[in-house]
Amino acid sequence: MANIRITNEKPGNIFRGTENKSLSLECTFDGVNTGKTLLWTRNGRNVKYGHNGYVLHSFIPMKKDHSSEFCCEVQDARKTKNQERCITLDIRYKPVIEFNFPDKSYFIRGETKKLCCSSDSRPFTKTIWMFKGRKGIGETQHKNISCLTLINISDSDSGKYSCFAENEIGIDDQEININVMYPPIIENQCIHFSEDKVLQQLQCFPRGVPNLYTFDRWDHRSYFNEHIRYLNSTSDGKLLLPMLKRKIGKFDNSGIYVCSASNGVPDLHGNTFQYGEIVVLWEGPPVFVEENNKIQFGKLGERAKLQVVVYNVSSIECCHIEGENSVQIRPDIEMSQINTTHLIHGTSITIEGLEIVFSFAVLQKSDYQKYEITLCSHLKNSSLIVELKPMNTEIDRPLALGLDVTLLSLFTTILLVAGMVFALVKRLRNKRIQTTDDVIEVVEGSTESVENVLYQSKTFRLTEATHQSTLSESTAVLNSRRTNNTNAENQRPQMLSNRFQESTKQLNYADITFKPTLPGNEKRVIGIGNKTVYADVDLTNGQTSVLDSLNELNSDDEDFVEIEDLAIFSHRKNRIDNI
C-alpha cells in the first residue's frame, strides 16, 4: 500500500513553526501510479494542488494560524479522495496584550475601578508591566496579567495607560485612554448692566465629561433667594431675556439667574442636573421703589417727616428736596439701610433698600405742597414728587385716622341702640303695671293706694272734707249690696268684668284715713320691703307732705302702701279675683 509522507512532521502529527517566519508544508506520495494528484487543505478548504505525487505549500504563519489543521489528500482522475494525512500547526508567537476595558473608556469620578492588561503568548510571557507615562504602576499576577486598582477616581486619573509584555519570540505593548467622567461644573458669573447697556441674553458655561449637555429652564431669583419667575433656555444654554414693557423697569432684570445643565453623569448624591449662578447687578441711578407713598401727611403746628425708600447698589452722592416755588428746603436728612418689598414681574420680593427721612420744623399752612426729591449718583439722577397734606384732610385721611372715626361711630351707634332698648323696656313695664291694677273699693275702716305712685295735689287737699262725706255714703251703699243675695249675686260676674275694663283705662287713687293721734306724731307711707318712700304725713297739720324727690325707677309690682288696715282690702281683692 502506498504511503503519504509530510516532511518535518513531528510525533503526534505536529508541525512546528514560528510567527512571521516562512513555513513550508511538503507532501509526497509513494505508489505504483505516480500520476496521482495531491492536495493541501486547511480546515477543510483547498489551499494548494500538486501532481505526480508531490505538493508544496509555503506561507508566513501568524498567531491566528496556531492550531490550524492541514491535510494532504491523494485524488484519482475523477478527483475522488483516495487517501489523506493531517497535521496540526504549533506556531510560536510573541505576546498579544489585551485590556479589560476598551480604548477611550470612561470612568466616573469618585468610583473605584480595576484596570488590567493580560498577555497571550507561546511560549509563556516572561515579563509584563503597566505604565502611566514613564512610571510603572502595575502589579504582575500569574505572570501574564498586570492590574492597577484606581480608588476614588479623580480627574488626575485621566490619561494614557500602557502595557508591556515579553517572551523569547518578541515584545508587545498596547495603550488605552482613560477619561474620567464627571457631572458639569458651572462657574458662577457676575454681570453689570445699566440704562445704556441693555441686558439681552445670558450664557451658561458648564464644564464636564462628556461635554454633551442638556439644559433645563432658568430660575430668576432675588438677592434673598426668593423665586421670581422661570425662563426657557435655548439648546446651547442661552437665556434670551424678554423685552421690558416699562422703561423704568430695567432694574427688574437684576437679581440672580440660576442655570442648570446635565451630561448624564450623576454626582455623588445621585443628582444628574447641576446648577450655577449668574449675579446680575444694576448700575444706574437710584431707583425709587413703587411702594413709596406719593401723598404723606403732617399735623399743623408739629414737626413732620417725609419718608422715601430707594434701591441702589452704588453710593448716593447728593440728596436735596425742593418745593413748588422752586425754593430748596434744608430739612434734617437721615439715611438708613432697610429691607423692604418690591414688586418685580408680578412677584413681591425682598430687596435691600435705603430709607431716606426728611424732617421738617414746625409745620405751617404754606408747607402743605408738593415736593420734588432728587437723588444722584456718579451715573445719573432720579426724582420723585411727594405731596404733603394736613392730617385732617377728609379725602386723603390716613388709614389710622379713618379707623378711629369708624370705631367712634360704631360706639355711638351702640349707645343709641342701648338707650332705645332701655326706653322700650321701661315703657312695657309701666304698661304692665297699669293693666294689672284691679278695681279699688273703699272699705270702712280701711284705706286704698295707687301702686308705686302717690297722686295728691293742692286741689285734692282743698276738697278733702267733701270727699270724706262721699266716702261715708259709698260705705253704706256697699253694705246694702252685701245683703242682696238674689239678683245681684247673679249679676256680679258681669259687673266685675265691666269694672275691671274701666280700671285699665284710668288711674286708680287711694284715700288714706288715719286714726286720731297726738300732736307732733308723723306717719310715713312706704312700699313693701321698705323699698320706696312715698310720703311723710304730719297729722298735726292735717295734710300730706309729698317728698321732693320720687324714685320711680325703683318701683316694683309688689309695692303697696304699708298700712295696717289695708290688709282687709287686699284680702277682699283676692276674693273678688277668685269669683
pLDDT of 451 reads: 42
Please state the domain extents for the chain: 3-93, 100-182, 187-282, 287-397, 436-577
Is the pTM here over 0.85, yes or no?
Answer: no
Looking at per-residue pLDDT, the higher value among 97 and 464 belongs to 97
Supply 17's cell numbers: 513553526
CATH number of the structural domain 100-182: 2.60.40.10
The b-or-e profile of 473-484 (16+ CB within 10 A means b, else e) is eeeeeeeeeeee
Q: Please state, for a pLDDT cut of 70, what percent of the chain lies above it.
A: 66
The pLDDT tens digits of the residues spanning 210-226 come to 999 999 999 999 999 99
Confidence of residue 442 (pLDDT cuts 50, 70, 90): very low
Higher pLDDT, 340 or 86: 86
pLDDT per position as a tens digit, 495-521:
434 443 444 444 455 556 655 555 555
Q: What's the rounded Cα separation, in Å, for the pair 540 and 518? A: 8
Of the options 1.20.1560.10, 2.60.40.10, 1.10.15.40, 2.60.120.260, the CATH number for the domain spanning 187-282: 2.60.40.10
The pLDDT-based confidence of 34 (bands split at 50, 70, 90) is: low
> So what's the pLDDT on residue 45?
93
Same fold, 100-182 and 287-397: yes
345 burial (CB, 10 Å; 0-12 / 13-18 / 19+) is middle
Cα separations (Å) of 267 from 259, 262, 271, 272? Answer: 17, 10, 5, 6
**Residue type at position 46:** N
- The fold adopted by the segment(s) 3-93 is Immunoglobulin-like (2.60.40)
Residue 436 banded pLDDT, cuts 50, 70, 90: very low
CATH 3.30.450.20 at 287-397, yes or no: no
- The helix (H) or strand (E) run that includes residue 570 is helix 566-577
Residues 6+ apart with CB under 8 A from 146: 116, 117, 118, 128, 129, 130, 138, 139, 140, 163
What is d(CA 3, CA 5) in angstroms, rounded to the nearest whole number? 6
- Cβ–Cβ < 8 Å for 324, 370: yes
DSSP character string of 13-28: TEEEEETTS-EEEEEE
Q: How far apart are CA 26 and CA 85, in angstroms?
A: 12
Phi and psi angles of residue 480, each rounded to the nearest 5 degrees, phi first: -65, -40
CA distance readout (Å), 196 to 163, 193, 282, 285: 62, 8, 11, 11
What whole-number distance in Å separates Cα of residue 65 and Cα of residue 219?
65
Q: Is the pLDDT assigned to residue 185 strictly greater than 50?
A: yes
